[in-house]
Structure 1
């Protein structure tokens, strides 16, 4: 049974039992605390935790997932992978254990002809939580599982929670017995290699508190609505049904593995034994097969390679795959051979990977080309480091290996391999220590961000009274009632002059910050009070919270108010938001559809727009984007909004922002029909001419593969152009030329300045040469080496010191000689050391000496054995540093 057939059968089974089929959500999680969708239940978390009211009581899905926490283990065993698919069925306060358990058994054991998976009953084992007698009795008495095939397991494995106070509950798992050739008898508690878990049923029925660990918490009561969350690993079931050894040999993965083996001339043996001589090649082939599929699916869902976040994970996957192929002996580009194979294996389940393959391939192939260039540059740096380490008779330091990894993106495996070829060991422990420090810093940052989440319970309570009605699409003023006043997170009865509070109204014209559009500001007034609204946020879906200051009087809870948005500011924000859509359409028109939106922000008069693109835009391209945008503004296109079904919007071709979650009903904003059609909840002008004008401020990189354009619109665009005109007028007056000759005059002035700088440089060199002739006679003999140690005072830069040191070295002739010259540049000490061949033969190395001097100066340095440079922070230590160099020559 093919993998996509397993998925179809799963959906059909539960749909026939009243479950709403829910398409897989994006791999880009809508949960801000997660980079990716890491489990099948992630899209349903708002319903399972009662943050939102579910639109259905029962649901089923086959969810795409990515987990990269164990990425280093991928391939070493057949149990680790990054991309996987989780089949799930969910109940939100509908059925519970008595229904969920029989469903699972029925689907797994029913004959294939009857819509089941046809697994033999005598191959299945069940585990339940130690204290869950209810689940045990259902398995034993209702389903009929033999008691000796039901095992009890504790909290560590069979109790689910988020790790925080909230919903939790016991689990029950179903295992498949692969047979005695895979391990010992005794069920899952004896051997989880032989008995593999295929299905986990979570019974979300309790409220827990006082959580100190996964196993230490207090059950404080039962949930009012008990939920079911189950998950079956599609790859694991495919492995069983297809009769293969592991997930790498299933129909969606094996074709890439075979192609990689063919390209490398290796044979895949499926071994997991590290002692087996084929193991290392098998590991690399498994890494390639896993990572190519994961990269395909991530790019399909809108991720682009970058140096942070999701993009970094994708970059790492691609580079690990390319690296593994290199270690298998294939040094040329491999993705054009491997990615189409993965596409063909996955398109049965995900047709989009075929329809969108041209874009996916462009992104992936460009990243591989970039990495191959990285390998080339990293190789040059590594060879230099190897040469220095061998000369110093030391191993390659962990710091050097880490720098290669962190700065050049050079993989440690490649560093180890190439160093070994040169007969040099690597301080791998030092490298791992630095990597651990970096990882711990990242985890600390992530934990700090996570712990910064506010307590939303008060807002959930307010939401039970109803959602905030937003009237701001059609009106900027309106009547309302204060539903709650919050101060420091707690409800208060009133707020007085000067108080900073959060206000929830039953309805409001104020736009809450969302979709890249800044929040409205304005006033809330009533009988005897004036409140200024500074910001509006939506901490939970459906509730607008006004951050405000009471300017006059006293605001009581439950007061009737008049809410009035700052009209001028709103209009300027609408100009910017519509301008953002216009820029997006212009980018598509000029660059193509692969210039995908990566984020945006717009406020009164200003917009910025991030998009995926691999290189900077030329001045001509920027001008063209600006021109297309202003033509659209001049043409006075209509701006229409429509609310429709999400599927209908997709059929229309409406552009959605990757990573955003949308409900079944969406708002579509159109500019001249199909010229620009996007899903958007923001506010807009009703025709493009009301924007006035749009002026691009610039374009820059915001990470590898992503660019940003910024622009002013409306009066802000006019003021910017007026300021530019005033600047031009000032320059033309200063240079005494008409504006049309300004560029020519500036270019001529710069040319003269450059000529003058060259002349000054020539004179400075002559002065240095004259100084060198005088200094050559100051050389002293230090243990058979002529040494000059000179403080040059204030210098224009290290180049001056380099020229002086090299001139002095030449003047000292062929006898062993070392020159150390120091100086002060911008208030900081700089030192340069040069040695000749005879000095190096005598054991005097510039690189070693400069580290001695830099240590005295309070800094660092490095270089080669003949010339090295360093610096520090303590100018007063220059004499001591020069003495230290002389002593180092003496004590070599």
Structure 2
């Protein structure tokens, strides 16, 4: 049974049982405490927590998920994958334990011809929470499971909570017994791979508080409306139904594994270590494909870092399988073909996806080349120092700074006959993970608890009137002071105020929040920020300027009209620039992020190379032509499917409901889904002035522009500057570039002549320096400070000249100089001096330590520097003392 068929049977079964079928949310979640959708329940959190009323009583879905917590287990067990699909059915205050158990057992054990999955009940085991007698008795009554195949387990496995105050409850898990060939008898309690968990039924029935850990908390009481949250692992069911040993051999994953086998020339099933690597490649390529399809791009932080890590682990695994060259073109194509029936976007958006994948692979292959060179130097230094291992700190630097995998470091070190101080490396990695976990816990505590908004959201959605009105009369629904509900807020306090209706725009879609005030009888509030803490609810952060505001009072929201006008100009300009980019660069130049505020826009887009000056000018001209053409701006609210059919751009990572707002500028020329505020005709934008273009990652670029009056002011300032230059240089403005180029060339020529004269003058000091040589034992030493010099190269040249003048007897030359305000030290030794143990690199390190810096180099010549030029005499003295010791 194909994976897609299993998913369809699941959805069809629950559709017949009165469940609304909900499409999968993006892998990119809008929960600020999470990077990704890590579980099937994430999109339903607002409904399960009660923060937002559920729009349906029953639902079912097939949710895409990414989880990297167990990334090191990928390939080693039959069930661990980073990308997975979670089939779920949900009840919001409707059916509870009995209904969930009936539905699960019915689907699992019904014959295939009746739409079921046809599991043999004799192969199924069930676990329940040890204190949940109700669930235990229901399993006995509703199914033909014998008592011995229903096991009671503790909170660590059979109790669900988020680790935060809120809903929680016991759960019941369904396991498939793979048989004695896969492990020991005894059921799921043995925690053996023989028993594969395929479905988890969470009975969300309690409210918890005083959470001390995920399994240590106080139960306040039962929830007023009990919920059901279930999850059936699609990949786990697939590998069982397809009769293969693990999820990596299922129909959606195996093609990538087979392609890796073909490219490597090795055999799957022959060597355990190779098998793990093949599975890692198969899993990580599929996960990367799905993340790219949902708009994540490789970077050094956040979601992009996780994607980059997955891609680089796949490249590393292919290298360990003996393939040093690029493979992503073929591996990603194999994954695309395996996934396109279930997720057509991986094919329709293939040009953009493959562009990112191939660019990241090329970048990392270059990283591996440069990292190998750095490691080679480290190995050579370890051998020269007589060490048998590479320091853990050096391995960590390669890993953390250069992205060089530790496994590859270990492999190369072993080939060189050395080890790596793995304990020190692991300590540094653990410290880094602890810092990351502490940061994640901090963010979760700060951002995840939205329960304070629950009662406010229960009163209904905040109505936004600002598309048509700049003032709206309403009433105060609620007030929060210091994060807690309050009856009122007084002068000088900062508070959150929730209104039934508001004209003030809440930050979203790249558009910053409106400025303005809220006024009522006897009070005035300055609006500092406007946000949507939970879907459908708008909260105004305010400072009470005068009077006292209380819950239930009348309130009028008043938008700063000038700021809103400029914000509308900026948001419409963002759409114009996006359309101009796609017109110029092609359809793969899609939006990757934006910010627009009064007078300014910042727009990130997928592109892997810098834009030429001519291209930037063309984009700017196309956008301003659209302004000149006075195009009509229309907004329509229509079903999502209809908007997409009309070609509307839907931005990656954005959440859309069944109905969406579509913004057209010039009809289909610019057509995007957008909830922001806009001008009514393009001419109102005024002027768009591109002021910058830069890189924001290997495959993303950023353009910045000023809009409207700010654009005019910038151009006026440039005009004044050009006028001033023209007057100062007594040159017509059209001849300024040639005149400035001429002056620059003259300046460079003069600087070159001065440098040559200074170098000649410095070189003439060689005889005097030779005469200043002193004897320290068997070695002749010149250790002198030169004062200032034009460059370190001049000092190096002089040091070598003096060394050569000293002949073949043991000689050491150490010269110091101030170059550009900073101290530089050059050491040079001849063969005879090195035979006595005098090495330039070691001497430079001594001197550099005195001047507050570092340095090194070869035994014959080395360079160092620091920050304290006044310490140069002391540094030279330290060198002579070391030579005389």
Scaled by the length of structure 1, the TM-score of the pair is 0.95
- Confirm whether residue 59 of structure 1 aligns to residue 59 of structure 2: yes
SS in 2 for 1:212: strand
- Confirm whether residue 478 of structure 1 aligns to residue 472 of structure 2: yes
* Range 574-583 or range 815-824, more displaced: 815-824
Aligned residues: 884
- Confirm whether residue 336 of structure 1 aligns to residue 329 of structure 2: yes
What is the match of residue 273 of structure 1? none
Q: Name which of 288, 299, 315 aligns with 1:322.
A: 315
Post-superposition offset of 1:30: 2.0
- 1:597-656 CA distance string (max 9 Å, x none): 121111111111111221211111111110110011111111111111122222222112
Return the alpha-carbon distance in structure 1 between the equivalents of residues 217 and 190 of structure 2. 27
What is the match of residue 217 of structure 1? 217
Q: Are residues 399 and 48 of structure 1, via their aligned partners in 2, closer, same or farther at CA, if it must alter by over 3 Å?
A: same
Post-superposition offset of 1:559: 3.5
What is the match of residue 95 of structure 1? 95
- Confirm whether residue 283 of structure 1 aligns to residue 286 of structure 2: no
Return the alpha-carbon distance in structure 2 between the equivalents of residues 163 and 418 of structure 1. 43
- 1:654-684 CA distance string (max 9 Å, x none): 1122111122221111111111111111100
- Confirm whether residue 41 of structure 1 aligns to residue 41 of structure 2: yes
What is the match of residue 207 of structure 1? 207
- 1:157-203 CA distance string (max 9 Å, x none): 11000011111000111111111121111111124211121111111
What is the match of residue 746 of structure 1? 740
Structure 1 unaligned runs (5+)?
Answer: 271-277
What is the match of residue 446 of structure 1? 440
SS in 2 for 1:167: strand
Q: Name which of 841, 852, 859 aligns with 2:846.
A: 852
Contact kept, 8 Å, 1:599 with 1:610, in 2: the verdict is: yes
Return the alpha-carbon distance in structure 2 between the equivalents of residues 438 and 866 of structure 1. 39
Q: Are residues 875 and 752 of structure 1, via their aligned partners in 2, closer, same or farther at CA, if it must alter by over 3 Å?
A: closer
RMSD of aligned residue pairs (Cα, Å): 2.1
Contact kept, 8 Å, 1:654 with 1:678, in 2: the verdict is: yes
Q: Name which of 362, 384, 394 aligns with 1:391.
A: 384
What is the match of residue 465 of structure 1? 459
Q: Are residues 545 and 674 of structure 1, via their aligned partners in 2, closer, same or farther at CA, if it must alter by over 3 Å?
A: same
| Matching of residues 759-778 of structure 1 within 5 Å | 759-778=753-772
Return the alpha-carbon distance in structure 2 between the equivalents of residues 311 and 743 of structure 1. 42
* Range 684-693 or range 177-186, more displaced: 177-186
- 1:755-802 CA distance string (max 9 Å, x none): 111112112211221233321222333343333222334455544443
SS in 2 for 1:663: coil
Contact kept, 8 Å, 1:388 with 1:864, in 2: the verdict is: no
Contact kept, 8 Å, 2:845 with 2:864, in 1: the verdict is: yes
Return the alpha-carbon distance in structure 1 between the equivalents of residues 11 and 238 of structure 2. 15
Q: Are residues 663 and 815 of structure 1, via their aligned partners in 2, closer, same or farther at CA, if it must alter by over 3 Å?
A: farther
Return the alpha-carbon distance in structure 2 between the equivalents of residues 116 and 491 of structure 1. 49
Return the alpha-carbon distance in structure 2 between the equivalents of residues 119 and 471 of structure 1. 54
SS in 1 for 2:248: helix
* Range 375-384 or range 215-224, more displaced: 375-384
Return the alpha-carbon distance in structure 2 between the equivalents of residues 817 and 416 of structure 1. 41
What is the match of residue 671 of structure 2? 677
What is the match of residue 125 of structure 2? 125
Return the alpha-carbon distance in structure 1 between the equivalents of residues 481 and 209 of structure 2. 25
- Confirm whether residue 243 of structure 1 aligns to residue 243 of structure 2: yes
What is the match of residue 275 of structure 1? none
Return the alpha-carbon distance in structure 2 between the equivalents of residues 676 and 329 of structure 1. 48
Return the alpha-carbon distance in structure 2 between the equivalents of residues 140 and 454 of structure 1. 38
Return the alpha-carbon distance in structure 2 between the equivalents of residues 339 and 498 of structure 1. 58
Q: Are residues 538 and 423 of structure 1, via their aligned partners in 2, closer, same or farther at CA, if it must alter by over 3 Å?
A: same
Post-superposition offset of 1:384: 2.5
* Range 146-155 or range 192-201, more displaced: 192-201
Post-superposition offset of 1:412: 2.0
Post-superposition offset of 1:497: 4.6
| Matching of residues 175-194 of structure 1 within 5 Å | 175-194=175-194
Scaled by the length of structure 2, the TM-score of the pair is 0.96
What is the match of residue 522 of structure 1? 516
Contact kept, 8 Å, 1:306 with 1:706, in 2: the verdict is: no
Q: Are residues 618 and 839 of structure 1, via their aligned partners in 2, closer, same or farther at CA, if it must alter by over 3 Å?
A: farther
What is the match of residue 654 of structure 1? 648
Return the alpha-carbon distance in structure 1 between the equivalents of residues 458 and 515 of structure 2. 26
Post-superposition offset of 1:805: 2.9
Q: Are residues 578 and 779 of structure 1, via their aligned partners in 2, closer, same or farther at CA, if it must alter by over 3 Å?
A: same
* Range 220-229 or range 369-378, more displaced: 369-378
Post-superposition offset of 1:4: 1.0
Post-superposition offset of 1:493: 5.0
Return the alpha-carbon distance in structure 2 between the equivalents of residues 874 and 357 of structure 1. 56
What is the match of residue 687 of structure 2? 693
Contact kept, 8 Å, 1:847 with 1:864, in 2: the verdict is: yes
* Range 115-124 or range 428-437, more displaced: 428-437
Q: Are residues 84 and 457 of structure 1, via their aligned partners in 2, closer, same or farther at CA, if it must alter by over 3 Å?
A: closer
- Confirm whether residue 108 of structure 1 aligns to residue 108 of structure 2: yes
Return the alpha-carbon distance in structure 2 between the equivalents of residues 80 and 880 of structure 1. 61
Structure 2 unaligned runs (5+)?
Answer: none
Q: Are residues 200 and 529 of structure 1, via their aligned partners in 2, closer, same or farther at CA, if it must alter by over 3 Å?
A: closer
- Confirm whether residue 148 of structure 1 aligns to residue 142 of structure 2: no
* Range 380-389 or range 673-682, more displaced: 380-389
- Confirm whether residue 731 of structure 1 aligns to residue 729 of structure 2: no
Contact kept, 8 Å, 1:185 with 1:191, in 2: the verdict is: no
Return the alpha-carbon distance in structure 1 between the equivalents of residues 309 and 143 of structure 2. 46
What is the match of residue 370 of structure 1? 363
Return the alpha-carbon distance in structure 2 between the equivalents of residues 239 and 87 of structure 1. 15
What is the match of residue 21 of structure 2? 21
Return the alpha-carbon distance in structure 2 between the equivalents of residues 194 and 527 of structure 1. 70
Return the alpha-carbon distance in structure 2 between the equivalents of residues 308 and 576 of structure 1. 28
- Confirm whether residue 607 of structure 1 aligns to residue 590 of structure 2: no
Q: Name which of 855, 861, 867 aligns with 1:861.
A: 855
Contact kept, 8 Å, 1:307 with 1:704, in 2: the verdict is: no
- Confirm whether residue 782 of structure 1 aligns to residue 771 of structure 2: no
* Range 196-205 or range 126-135, more displaced: 196-205
Contact kept, 8 Å, 1:111 with 1:118, in 2: the verdict is: yes
Return the alpha-carbon distance in structure 1 between the equivalents of residues 96 and 395 of structure 2. 54
